[in-house]
Amino acid sequence: MVQYVNVGLDASFAALSDATRRGVLEQLGRAEASITDLAEKFNMTLTGMKKHVGVLERAGLVITEKVGRVRTCKIGPRRLEEEMAWLERYRQLWDARFDELDKVVEELKRNEQVDGRKKRE
C-alpha cells in the first residue's frame, strides 16, 4: 500500500476539520482575541479553548503571544496555498468526471427520446 505523507496538509486539514476551530479562525480574522475571550465567545472552558488554539497553532494557522497573564491569539502566517493547490487538483479531477457523466446522461436522454418515438409509431 502506498503511503502518502504530507505533515503540513494533514495538520491543516485536521485543524480545519472542527467547527469550533473554523469559528476561532473566523473570529481571529476580524480581530485578535485572548484565549479567555474566545472561550467565552464559544461557551467553552479555558482548558478546552487552549487545546483548540494549540491545534491551530501547531498547524501554523494561529500564533499566540503571552503578555503578563493574558495569552493573545491572532491569525498565523500560513496562507493555505498548499492546501488550496491540493483542493484545486481534485476540483479539476471531479469537474472532468462530472463533464463525462453529463455526456453519458445526455446520450441516455437522446436514446430514451428515440426509443419513445419508435414505440409510438
DSSP string, 20-60: HHHHHHHHHHH--EEHHHHHHHTT--HHHHHHHHHHHHHTT
Query: pLDDT tens, 20-75?
Result: 999 999 999 999 999 999 999 999 999 999 999 999 999 999 999 999 999 999 99
- Of 55-59, 75-79, 115-119, which range is least confident? 115-119
pLDDT of the residue at 73: 97
Q: Which residue has the cell 473566523?
A: 26
Domain holding 98, by residue range, is: 79-120
What pLDDT score does 79 carry? 78
105 occurs within a structural domain: yes
Answer yes or no: do 48 and 88 share one domain. Answer: no
Whole-number percent of the chain with pLDDT over 90: 63
User: Do 53 and 16 fall within a single domain?
Assistant: yes
